[in-house]
Amino acid sequence: MNRSEFTLEQWLRWMEQSHPVAIDLGLERVQKVFSRLVLNFQNVCIITVAGTNGKGSTVAMLDAIYREAGYTTACYTSPHLQVYNERIRLNGVLVTDDQLVAAFQAVDQVCEEITLTYFEMGTLAALWLVAQQQPDVALLEVGLGGRLDAINVVDPDVSVITTIDIDHVDWLGDDREKIGWEKAGIFRTTKPAVCGELHPPASIASYAQALGASLYQVNSSYEYHIKDAHWCWQGEGKDKQQIIFTDLPIPRLPIQNAATAIQAIMLAGLPCCSKSIKAGLQKASVAGRMDETLYQGHSFILDVAHNPQSAAYLAKQLQKLDNGSGECQVELILGMLADKDCAAVIDALKPVVSFWHLVTLDVPRGQTAEQLKLYLKKIDIDSSNVVCHNSVAEAIESLVVAKKVAMEERSGVHRVVVAGSFHTVGDAYHVFKREIN
């Protein structure tokens, strides 16, 4: 079948098989295709966001604030939870199948002898759509690392690093200095770079200095303070002027990332007033982050925490919901990929979990429930509090439909959490028949 006649589903299937490996870091191939597309971003303010965690929430807050200020926006994030369209949003709305098909066709027409990975093809398609739409601001999330990630073919007006932790060890290594250096690869000479990591590796500042990028580091160039139901921000503008925002609302997303987003906005050159910032912070949300939903009369919290840093944050948030009483029993549905630091994730969640529902992820790199169980055994978690399931759907079934593990039989308050991977949370959304808008 001629690819010019492909549907979106056919394009996605073809993209999964068109390159020999799923992840092929390096810019040579994607740079050649990008050059052939001849895309014009002259009137688009581009902010690129890298980091181990917090990229999605930072992009969401930037998007909400800019739209409150009256600007048109485009967002590119990954991965998706249910449908591919989630990866590209124009003014907060998911792109259509037709828009994606047109973008894939445009990229494919100039590939010629070059093959691209699924992510590279999707990234170039997103950039093509941005060039077609010409929004006031484009918010681009790095997929993996930074220096060699496909999104780095674009020169941003502002570069952002959210947090640094150990993740993607097969590609980035297990050293924070090396990981910081890779993520700093999105910096550009003479352009501002914002780092929201509270304990940054020295490599970030070293990279910025060697490159000639202007680095704005949290607790140095900008800071934030929480007081009761509000918080305040103080930082620098594009001309080094001091800027202060007071009485900011507590967002649903991490304040650390909100502070980073505000500093990026102050440097990007598109004015945003205090009113727009406050309204945007209140409205911003991200699917799969502390997302509470009711299903069959039971409350579920869905969170894509999949590395030690995000797992520790999830545990802290669950303790806040419990008000530190320790009376709430958490039932965790956990499914993870094999290349994640499963032991550290489990260890971070151990203090708040009473019962473990381990699930098999039937995806590339997915782990089986039995493989996950070995990690629990190593840290002496009582096997009577562990059950294995073939899928997320089966785990949910056992909890709320078949009553194989009836929560009502256990004393106290119960909370069910689904975590460990975008795949795990995405499967739960499918079970709950919840659409992501």
pLDDT at 405: 42
Tell me: domain 291-432, CATH 3.90.190.20, correct? yes
Domain ranges of the chain: 3-283, 291-432
pLDDT at 415: 85
pLDDT at 327: 61
Rounded CA-CA distance 122/390 in Å is 31
pTM above 0.85, yes or no: yes
Asked whether the CA dihedral 427, 150, 22, 26 is positive or negative, the reply is negative
The single residue listed with the structure tokens 């997302």 is 291
User: How many angstroms separate the Cα of 304 from the Cα of each of 222, 311, 336, 416?
Assistant: 29, 9, 10, 14
Q: Which of 122, 142, 123 is nearest to 183 (CA)?
A: 142
Q: Where are the alpha helices (DSSP H) in 226-368?
A: 255-268, 274-283, 308-321, 342-349
CATH code of 3-283, in short, is 3.40.1190.10
pLDDT at 408: 47
Q: Where are the alpha helices (DSSP H) in 71-115?
A: 97-111
Q: Which of 193, 140, 194, 200 is nearest to 165 (CA)?
A: 200
- Give the H/E segment covering residue 245: strand 242-249
**Encoded tokens for 309:** 């840093």
User: How many angstroms separate the Cα of 328 from the Cα of each of 163, 297, 316, 354, 391?
Assistant: 30, 17, 14, 9, 25
pLDDT in tens, the chain (437 residues): 688 899 999 999 999 988 867 677 779 999 999 999 999 999 999 999 999 999 999 999 999 999 999 999 999 999 999 999 999 999 999 999 999 999 999 999 999 999 999 999 999 999 999 999 999 999 999 998 899 999 999 999 999 999 998 655 554 556 889 999 999 999 999 999 999 999 999 999 999 999 999 999 999 999 999 998 999 999 999 999 999 999 999 999 999 999 999 999 999 999 999 999 999 999 999 999 999 988 888 889 999 999 999 999 999 999 888 765 556 688 999 999 998 899 999 999 999 999 999 999 998 889 999 999 999 998 888 888 999 999 999 999 888 864 444 444 444 557 899 999 999 999 999 999 887 77
Q: Which of 347, 260, 279, 291 is nearest to 53 (CA)?
A: 260
CB under 8 Å to 383, separation ≥6 — which residues? Answer: 373, 376, 377
The radius of gyration of the chain's CA atoms, rounded to the nearest angstrom, is 22
